[in-house]
C-alpha cells in the first residue's frame, strides 16, 4: 500500500519554495532547460553532537516522486502569483511547460537504515536542471526530518539496551505529517511499537497503549477504575499507577492483577509517569515480586530521552519498557538536521560532466565537486572508514582519504580491506527501478549497521570520530578548482584596476 495515497489525495508538486520555481523559470527563459546538472543531498554536522546518523525517508520520497505532477489547480494558482509590478510572475508558456512536466531525472541513494556521516551524499539527483532544481525542497523536507528522528530513536534504543522502546509522541508532534513521519522514522531507528494508530495502519508498525489518568479520574476510586478496565480489556492491562499516590497505585494494581489471574488472565504490568522513576521503579519491582508478579513489567514515561534513560539505569532503575514521546518525535535538543542540496556538476549534451564547486570563507561550506559516490571499507571487526570519491575518476590507486576540513589529516586504506558503494540506483527515466523495501528490513539494517560501528563512535558524550574523507584524487581536483577560481578573480581584479587607471 502506498501510504501517501491514503494520507494525501492531491498533488504535492507545490510543496516547494518559490525560489525553486523562479530558478526553473530562469532556466526555461534562457533555454537552459535542456542542460543537465547533478545535485547531492548531504549534511555538514552530525545531529545531537553524536557519532553517526541513520538515513531515513527514502521510501517516502520515492512515493512522492512516482506521483509528481503539476495538476490543473496547481497551474491555476501559479498563474495567479504576481510580481512587484502587478504583472504575472510566470509566463503562460512556462505554466504550460510545468503542466506537461514528467520527471526524467536519475536518482541514486543510500538505502534507508544505512549509517551515514557528515559530508557524505545521501542522494544524488542528476538530469535536466529544471527538474533537479524543483525537487530540492521536497527531498530536503522528507530526508532531513526522518533522518533526524531515526537517529534520535537509535540513540534512545541504544541507551535502553535490550529493553523495548515505545514511541508515544503523536500528541506533541509537529502536525499530522510530523507525527506520522516521526512514527515511521522512530520504528526504523529501533523503536518496538507506536501509540499512533494511523501510523500502525499505514506503515505496519505494531501499536501499543492502555489508559490515561483521565480514565482513573473518571471513577470514584483508583481501584474501581483498574477493576473496570480489567473487566473491559483483560488482555491489555498495563495500569497507570501515579494518578494520586504511586505506591498505593501499585498495591491496587496488584489486587486487580490477582483478580485477573483468578479469571485466567495476566496483568501485563504497570506504568510510572511521574516522580522519582529510579526509586519508584525499584520499590514497585519489590512489591510486584513479593506479590508473585515477577513477570509483570514496569513501563516508564515522562519526558525521557537517551540521557535520562542512561542515568536511570546507572541508578538501578528496574524499568522494563520505556515510553518516549516529545523528546523523540520533535528531535528536542536538535530540531533540524540541517541537510543541504548542492549542485556539483553540469553537462550540456553527451559526454563527461563538468565539476562545479561552491567556495566559502567557511571551509565547512566549500562543496565537494563532481559526480560523487561513497565507498565504505570494512574489516572483520566492523566499519573501517568511508571514502567520498568522484565516480568519473574512480578511486585513486593511492587509496588515501583526506579530511574534508583538515587537508593535513590523511589516512591510507588497507589494500586488503573490502569496500562497497553506498549510493544505489533507485530512479531512472521518471520511474523507480528499486522495489519498495519493507520498513522492517530497513529497521533491521540500522540495527545491523550499528553493531558494526565501534563502541567509541556510538557513545553519547564526546564520541570518537568515524573516519570519513575525500579520495586523494578528488581532493586534488577540488584544490585545482579552488585555485582556478582564485586565479580567475585575481585576473578579473587586475583587469578592472587597469580599466580604472589606464597607462
The continuous run of DSSP H or E covering 91 comes out as none
Domain count, the chain: 2
Which DSSP category does 313 fall into?
Answer: H
Instruction: Tell me which of 302, 332, 355 is where a domain ends.
Output: 302
pLDDT at 5: 64
Measuring CA to CA, which residue among 216, 173, 215, 213 is closest to residue 196?
Answer: 173
Residue 497 lies in a domain: no
Residue 412 lies in a domain: no
Measuring CA to CA, which residue among 226, 282, 306, 225 is closest to residue 258?
Answer: 226
Same domain, 254 and 365: no
pLDDT at 4: 62
Which DSSP category does 438 fall into?
Answer: P
Surface-to-core class of residue 283, CB atoms within 10 Å of its CB (0-12 exposed, 13-18 middle, 19+ buried): middle
Which set of grid coordinates corresponds to residue 197? 494508530
pLDDT in tens, 273-302: 999 999 999 999 999 999 999 999 999 999
Cβ neighbour number for residue 500 with a 10 Å cutoff? 7
366 and 360 Cβ atoms separated by less than 8 Å: yes
Same domain, 8 and 142: yes
Surface-to-core class of residue 51, CB atoms within 10 Å of its CB (0-12 exposed, 13-18 middle, 19+ buried): buried
Residue 392 lies in a domain: no
pTM tops 0.85, yes or no = yes
Place of cell 494520507: 7
137 three-class SS: helix
Backbone angles phi, psi at 89, to 5 degrees: -70, -35
pLDDT in tens, 421-463: 999 999 999 899 999 999 999 999 999 999 999 999 999 999 9
Same domain, 135 and 8: yes
CATH number of 16's domain: 3.20.140.10
Residues of the chain under the 70 pLDDT cut? 1-10, 32-33, 490-503
Surface-to-core class of residue 432, CB atoms within 10 Å of its CB (0-12 exposed, 13-18 middle, 19+ buried): middle
pLDDT at 418: 85
What is the Cα–Cα distance from 369 to 384, expressed in whole angstroms? 24
What is the Cα–Cα distance from 249 to 239, expressed in whole angstroms? 8
Place of cell 566549500: 366
Rg of the chain over Cα atoms, rounded to whole angstroms, equals 27
Long-range Cβ contacts of 257-260 (<8 Å, 24+ apart): 257/291, 257/293, 257/296, 258/291, 259/227, 259/230, 260/230, 260/234
Same domain, 43 and 134: yes
Domain containing residue 454: 3-146+345-379+421-465
Same domain, 218 and 132: no
Residue 172 lies in a domain: no
Instruction: Tell me which of 302, 336, 359 is where a domain ends.
Output: 302
Which set of grid coordinates corresponds to residue 384? 573501517
Instruction: Label residue 424 left, alpha or beta by phi (over 0 means left) and psi (-120 to 50 means alpha).
Output: beta
Which DSSP category does 386 fall into?
Answer: E
Cβ neighbour number for residue 190 with a 10 Å cutoff? 22
Same domain, 364 and 266: no
Residue 325 lies in a domain: no
Sheet-wide strand order for 340-347: 354-355, 340-347, 36-42, 123-128, 106-109, 424-428, 431-432
pLDDT at 1: 56
Same domain, 442 and 362: yes
Same domain, 288 and 359: no
125 and 105 Cβ atoms separated by less than 8 Å: yes
Residue 295 lies in a domain: yes
440 three-class SS: helix
pLDDT at 3: 65
Same domain, 38 and 136: yes
473 and 396 Cβ atoms separated by less than 8 Å: yes
Residue 165 lies in a domain: no
Same domain, 278 and 356: no
What is the Cα–Cα distance from 324 to 171, expressed in whole angstroms? 12
CATH number of 294's domain: 3.20.20.70
354 three-class SS: strand
Q: Show the CA angle centred on residue 138, arms to residues 135 and 140, nearest 5°.
A: 100
Instruction: Tell me which of 246, 268, 302 is where a domain ends.
Output: 302
Same domain, 12 and 129: yes
Same domain, 298 and 357: no
What is the Cα–Cα distance from 387 to 401, expressed in whole angstroms? 6
Residue 197 lies in a domain: no
Decide the pairing of beta strands 193-194 and 165-167: parallel
Amino acid at each position: 500500500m502506498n501510504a501517501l495515497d491514503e494520507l494525501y489525495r492531491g498533488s504535492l508538486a507545490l510543496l516547494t519554495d518559490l525560489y525553486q520555481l523562479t530558478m526553473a523559470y530562469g532556466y526555461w527563459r534562457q533555454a537552459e532547460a535542456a542542460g543537465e546538472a547533478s545535485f547531492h543531498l548531504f549534511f555538514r554536522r552530525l545531529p545531537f553532537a553524536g557519532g553517526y546518523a541513520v538515513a531515513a525517508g527514502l521510501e517516502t520520497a520515492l512515493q512522492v516522486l512516482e506521483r509528481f505532477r503539476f495538476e490543473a489547480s496547481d497551474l491555476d494558482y501559479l498563474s495567479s502569483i504576481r510580481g512587484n509590478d502587478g504583472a504575472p510572475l510566470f509566463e503562460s508558456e512556462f505554466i504550460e511547460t510545468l503542466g506537461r512536466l514528467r520527471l526524467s531525472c536519475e536518482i541514486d541513494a543510500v538505502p534507508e537504515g544505512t549509517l551515514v556521516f557528515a559530508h557524505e551524499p545521501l542522494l544524488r539527483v542528476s538530469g535536466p536542471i529544471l527538474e533537479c532544481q524543483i525537487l530540492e525542497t521536497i527531498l530536503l523536507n522528507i530526508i532531513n526530518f526522518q533522518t533526524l528522528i531515526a537517529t534520535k530513536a537509535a540513540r534512545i534504543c541504544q541507551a535502553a539496551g535490550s529493553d523495548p522502546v515505545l514511541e508515544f509522541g503523536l500528541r506533541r508532534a509537529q502536525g499530522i505529517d510530523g507525527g506520522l513521519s516521526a512514527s515511521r522514522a522512530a520504528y526504523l531507528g529501533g523503536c518496538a511499537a507506536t501509540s499512533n494508530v494511523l501510523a500502525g495502519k499505514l506503515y505496519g508498525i505494531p501499536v501499543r497503549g492502555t489508559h490515561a489518568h483521565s480514565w482513573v479520574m473518571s471513577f470514584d476510586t483508583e481501584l474501581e477504575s483498574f477493576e473496570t478496565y480489567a473487566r473491559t480489556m483483560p488482555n491489555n492491562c498495563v495500569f497507570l499507577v501515579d494518578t494520586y499516590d504511586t505506591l498505593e497505585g501499585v498495591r491496587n494494581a496488584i489486587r486487580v492483577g490477582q483478580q485477573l489471574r483468578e479469571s485466567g488472565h495476566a496483568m501485563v504490568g504497570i506504568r510510572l509517569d511521574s516522580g522519582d522513576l529510579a526509586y519508584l521503579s525499584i520499590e514497585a519491582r519489590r512489591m510486584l515480586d513479593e506479590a508473585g508478579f515477577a513477570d509483570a513489567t514496569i513501563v516508564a514515561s515522562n519526558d525521557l530521552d537517551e540521557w535520562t534513560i542512561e542515568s536511570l539505569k546507572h541508578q538501578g532503575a528496574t524499568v522494563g519498557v520505556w515510553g518516549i514521546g516529545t523528546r523523540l518525535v520533535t528531535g528536542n535538543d536538535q530540531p533540524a538536521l540541517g541537510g543541504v542540496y548542492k549542485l556539483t556538476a553540469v553537462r550540456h549534451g553527451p559526454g563527461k560532466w563538468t565539476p562545479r564547486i561552491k567556495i566559502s570563507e567557511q571551509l565547512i561550506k566549500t562543496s565537494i565537486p563532481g559526480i560523487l559516490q561513497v565507498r565504505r571499507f570494512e574489516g572483520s571487526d566492523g566499519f573501517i572508514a568511508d571514502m567520498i570519491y568522484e565516480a568519473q575518476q574512480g578511486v585513486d590507486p593511492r587509496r588515501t582519504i583526506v579530511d574534508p576540513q583538515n587537508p593535513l589529516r590523511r589516512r591510507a586504506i588497507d589494500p586488503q580491506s573490502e569496500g562497497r558503494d553506498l549510493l544505489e540506483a533507485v530512479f531512472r527515466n521518471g520511474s523507480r527501478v528499486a522495489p519498495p523495501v519493507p520498513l522492517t528490513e530497513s529497521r533491521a539494517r540500522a540495527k545491523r549497521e550499528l553493531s558494526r560501528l565501534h563502541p567509541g563512535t556510538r557513545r553519547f558524550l564526546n564520541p570518537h570520530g568515524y573516519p570519513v574523507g575525500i579520495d586523494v584524487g578528488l581532493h586534488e581536483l577540488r584544490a585545482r578548482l579552488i585555485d582556478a577560481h582564485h586565479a580567475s578573480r585575481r585576473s578579473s581584479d587586475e583587469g578592472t584596476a587597469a580599466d580604472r587607471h589606464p597607462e
